[in-house]
Amino acid sequence: MVIPGLDRTLDPLRDTIRPEIDATPDSDSETEQAGTNTVGNIPMEWYKDFDHIGYDLDGKPITKSAIKDELDKFLANVDDPDAWKTVRDELQQEDVVLSSEDLEIIKRMREGRLPDVNYDPYAPLVEFFSSKTSITPVTGGDEPKRRFIRSKWEAKRIMQLVRYIRHGVIRRDKHKVAAPRFFDLWRDAPEEATERGALHIPAPKMALPGNEESYNPPEEYLPDEKERRTFERTEPSERKQQWLPQKFSTLRHVPAFDRFVQERFERCLDLYLAPRVRKNRVDVDPESLMPKLPDPKDLEPYPTRTSITYRGHEGRIRSFTMDPAGQWMVSGSDDQTARLWEVSTGRCLSVWNLGAVVQHVAWNPSSDLLMLSIAAGDKVYLVSPTKLWDTDRRTVTEDLIDAGFRQAAPMSSDETYQRPSVAFACRWDKPTPEQKAQGILAVLVHRREVKQIAWHRKGDYFATIQPEADDAAVLIHQLAKQQTQRPFRRTKGAVQRISFHPTKPLFFVATQRYVRIYNLQKQSLVKALQSNVKWISSLDVHPTGDNLIVGSYDKRVCWFDLDLSARPYRTLRYHGQAVRSVAFHKRYPLFASCGDDGNLHVFHGMVYNDLLQNPLIVPVKILRGHQVVDSLGVLHCEFHPTQPWLVSAGADRTLRLWC
């Protein structure tokens, strides 16, 4: 369409043929870029799903070059020394090796410097128009007249645009979107909610008033005189509410609220100072948090039920011990007696009346001797039971004690004065004829009440503790020479439990919160274990000697790995009351604990020879059967030496064998 008076050179619909651009070497045109790929500077992602990357000048498709896989890239990085400075040119579909000049430019840009080395950003400034007044102008010419009059060409161009608009060639409403017939009523509502940001958290609303804030509350909401005095004596910061309910006959009698400004101020402080955090809820499967443990049925054998109940004591049973073969058992009770039992039948063979509460009993672990030790009051009795039909071992034991009395030199008064601490701490006495008839071979008289006896694995040494004797709390006795040694001048804290290492010359001493390990040969402290409990009640060492369990009165059982750390490897809290005793089995991977809640917990505790693998602890059984008497439950537990059986002693005056 030809419009009269319209310049054809300004017609946007006119087809024109422009001459081809001939770029010179000094030109900045992009057509001077050399390369085989003539598709132009377009994104290569357009052809990612095709087998070609575009078309050449003749209209033929340009096939893609071979793409290296990860293995080829890895081999290129290994074999090609220039692989570290090779980049991929996606437009030309080839690998380009960067030159030293390119690397220098990249290095300077990463360091925040200018890419061009020769460019000086701080060159001296040449002031073309300086502050000095010149006589003649610098430009040397006057302003042209065209700068002060209207442009005729611009007026001509404007008139042509007006004609285009009048004839409809240029339409202002060409891209105008038609208004919808129906509109969304709530379209702007979400925008208003998100004006303050997506993370905005609205402030919590104030609690609605209740019946106590009514001007005429019910009678049960009105405070009496006692409640009013309590309210006045309470600190304002500790009150549940800062006002007392009042009663008015009519609403017009209600005065102005005197704490209105204070409440508004506190509300503003809460909104201003109390931060609000949006916590995203994480949905976690509870089963995934539980450790994967083996099935207890696969860890048998372990004790599961009561087999024999031993009855006969008239007081709570504090301790018991079994011989190395597991055939006989001796128990001590608050009724001042010790009883000898046959484990397999529950028959009581002997009763020793010692005249004091029996705190602890321990059998000599040596298979050559027939001897046990009983701690009653401040005395320790060395007993060889006469009711047992083992005359050879009894004879060897009696000869050992008699030889010790003959070798021990009698102490004069001067010698006693020279060694007052050891002599006063313990004294070896021969038994009376009545005691000797009961099988008592020797009596060790201590300064204070003896709480525990611990035997060395060879059976010649045993240790005793008397916590109330400060400078002689721990004593070590020797049977062959009948001598007593005091290994510590002072102990840091009250000694609760002691034990010998199964294979090494180490000695464990447990105070209220720490377990210290001493080397008896070097007479030095090896390690101090931090139990993180308030009061240690019991202690036992694993047969291999590398692990240790500790029970406490604050319901905890701590497992220590001596090769790992001085802190507990595991802290178990499953008893409802204080833990009284813990014990390892000497042959099976089992350990148990008992407490004042009347329960015994049996665990599978596997210790591996591989030092890189941690011990495996699996709870397998809870044994219930003892009764709680005077807030005391099970006081002592110990495993059978050869069988997967457990024996327990309780405050209900019974012993139980669990099989």
Helix (H) or strand (E) holding 104: helix 100-110
Rounded alpha-carbon distances, angstroms, from residue 627 to 36, 346, 630, 647: 95, 20, 10, 15
Rounded to whole angstroms, the Cα distance separating 433 from 327 reads 28
Distance of alpha carbon 594 from alpha carbon 635, whole angstroms: 7
Q: Are 108 and 115 in contact (CB under 8 A)?
A: yes
What pLDDT is attached to residue 612?
83
Residue 380 burial (10 A CB sphere; 0-12, 13-18, 19+): buried
Residue (of 648, 647, 527, 553) closest to 598 by Cα position = 648
Instruction: Provide the token pair at 344.
Output: 């397999």
pLDDT at residue 640 in the model: 96
Which residues in the chain show pLDDT less than 50? 1-6, 9-14, 16, 21, 23-32, 411-423
Tokens of 575: 């008893």
Query: What is the signed CA dihedral for 115, 117, 119, 121, rounded to 10 degrees?
Result: 80
- Shortest CA distance to 443 belongs to which of 429, 454, 455? 429
Which 3 state secondary structure label does DSSP give 58?
Answer: coil
Instruction: Look at the alpha carbons of 105, 107, 108, 110 in this order and tell me if their dihedral is positive or negative.
Output: positive
* Rounded-to-integer distance, Cα 643 and Cα 588, Å: 8
The confidence score (pLDDT) of residue 258 equals 87
Q: How many residues does the chain have?
A: 659
Peptide bond into 301 cis (omega under 30): yes
Q: How far is CA 592 from CA 390, 551, 619, in A?
A: 32, 10, 10
Tokens encoding 596: 């004042």
Taking only the tens place, the pLDDT of each residue in 214-272 is: 999 999 999 999 999 999 999 988 888 888 999 999 999 999 988 899 989 989 998 88
Q: How much is the pLDDT for 420?
A: 38
Q: What is the 3-state secondary structure (H, E, C) of 155-187?
A: HHHHHHHHHHHHCCCCCCCCCCCCCCCCCCCCC
- Among candidates 357, 361, 366, 306, which has minimal Cα distance to 335? 357
Three-state DSSP at 248 gives: coil
- Rg of the chain, C-alpha, whole Å: 49
The two beta strands, 524-530 and 514-519, are: antiparallel
Give tens-digit pLDDT for 33-91: 555 677 777 888 888 888 888 888 778 888 887 777 888 888 888 888 888 888 888 77
Tokens in use for 178? 């038609």
- Smallest CA-to-CA distance from 313 within 657, 653, 655 is with 653
Q: Is 584 within 8 Å of 639 (Cβ atoms)?
A: yes
**Closest-CA residue to 65 (of 35, 36, 33, 94):** 94
Distances (CA, A) of 75 to 80, 159, 228, 291, 501: 8, 70, 89, 43, 59
Q: Residue written as tokens 């329960």?
A: 599
C-alpha closest to that of 588 among 658, 549, 641, 649: 641
User: Cα–Cα distance between 378 and 355 in angstroms, integer?
Assistant: 11
SS3 553: coil
The CA-CA-CA angle for residues 335, 338, 343, to 5°, reads 125
Q: How far apart, in whole angstroms, are the C-alpha atoms of residue 9 and residue 258?
A: 86
| C-alpha distances in Å from residue 485, one per residue of 426, 462, 517 | 9, 11, 18
DSSP category for residue 144: P
- How many other CB atoms are there within 10 angstroms of residue 156's CB atom? 11
Q: 448, 466 in Cβ contact below 8 A? A: yes
Domains of the chain: 298-658 (2.130.10.10)
Distance in angstroms (rounded) separating the CA atoms of residues 447 and 380: 11
Local structure of 40: helix, strand or coil = coil
Residue holding tokens 């024109």?
A: 16
Residue 444 to residue 425: CA distance in whole angstroms: 10
Half-sphere exposure of 36 (CA within 13 A, CB side): 11
Q: Quickly list H helices, 274-419.
A: 286-289, 391-407, 413-418
Q: Which helix (H) or strand (E) holds 313?
A: none
Calpha distance 231→659 (Å, rounded):
62
117, two tokens = 């080395």
Q: Which two tokens stand for residue 415?
A: 């010698």
Number of H helices and number of E strands within the chain?
11, 33
- Residue type at 257? F
Q: Are 644 and 658 in contact (CB under 8 A)?
A: no
Beta bridge partners of 329: 322, 341
Q: Any long-range contacts for 19-22 (C-beta under 8 Å, 24+ apart)?
A: none
Kind and range of the H or E element at 637? strand 634-639
Written as one letter, the residue type at 540 is D
